[in-house]
Structure 1
Amino acid sequence: MSEHLPAAAARLTDAVDRLADRFRAMPQSRLLNAVPGHPSRAAAGLALARRLADRARALEGLPALEVPDSGAFAVGDQLAVTGHDLALAAGDGHPQELAAALADVEHTDRLTA
């Protein structure tokens, strides 16, 4: 899918996909271990998914809707969906928003490694 997006949006979806795949492959013990600022890696991933969703909805002129806590094993999918939604909402008209989201994804990636 990223090959049909503007370059900045494709970078975001590629980074989100890598992080989502890592979350999907994590064992439960690792997902539930605390990381700085969060009670677990899963919680850090969910917080990122919520921020990505909020950014996408703001760009679309819609009110925020909270991404539900569907459990540690759902976080990878939640990241993928919200990251792709943001990339589509931003397109090529919001490069600063895409750059900020990419930095947020990369920070969470380092935090949860």
Structure 2
Amino acid sequence: MLDTTELTAAVDRLADRLRAAPQSRLQRGAAAAGLALARELAVRAQRLEAPDAPPRTMPDAGVFAVADQLVVAGNDLAEILRTAPAGPAFRRELDEAVAAVRRTAATATL
């Protein structure tokens, strides 16, 4: 079992920043960056859970929903990784997901 606390904490911090951002900032790109990350995390989770099925795209539910979409996608991926058998492939997946969240947090205009 992997410790996914780092992933969930990073996702929660970014989601909190998105929730606190003014509408104008969300519309200038912060929400788009959050949605892109949520979609990436959702695809990662789907590929681990059902590698033979084509991944579904998370819908755009609007700028005020993106923080919740990010939390759902991040927590889904974290749970899949937490319960996966320990191994380098799953560790790499976790590290890549954490890096993606940090990259988005560093580059999103919040």
The answer, yes or no, to whether TM exceeds 0.5 is yes
Q: Which segments of 5 or more consecutive residues in structure 1 lack a partner in the other structure?
A: 34-39
- Structure with more relative contact order (C-alpha pairs < 8 Å, separation 6 or more): 2
**1:14 Cα deviation from its structure 2 partner:** 0.5
AA in 1 matched with 2:65:
A
- Residue identity opposite 2:12 in structure 1: D
Select the residue among 25, 44, 52 that pairs with 2:33.
Answer: 44
Percent identical among aligned pairs is 52
Q: Which residue of 2 aligns with 1:37?
A: none
Query: Could you tell me whether the CA contact under 8 Å between 2:2 and 2:91 is conserved in 1?
Result: no
TM-score of the pair, normalised by structure 1: 0.85
**CA apart distance, 1:6:** 3.8
RMSD, aligned α-carbons: 1.4
The AA in structure 1 aligned to 2:33 is A
- Note the C-alpha offset of 1:84: 0.4
Q: Where in structure 1 do 4 or more consecutive aligned residues deviate above 2 Å?
A: none
1:15 equivalenced with 2:1 (yes/no): no
Match of 1:90 among 81, 95, 99: 81
Secondary structure at the counterpart of residue 23 of structure 1? helix
Report how far residue 65 of structure 1 moved. Answer: 1.0
Question: What is the aligned partner in structure 2 of residue 30 from structure 1?
Answer: 25
Aligned length: 102
Question: Unaligned regions of 5+ residues in structure 2, if any?
Answer: none
Distance (Å, rounded) in 2 between the aligned partners of 1:24 and 1:44: 13
Task: Confirm or deny that 1:80 pairs with 2:76.
Answer: no
Query: Quick one: distance in 2 between partners of 1:10 and 1:58?
Result: 21
Contact 2:2 2:81 in 1 (8 A): no
Classify the secondary structure of the residue corresponding to 1:72.
coil
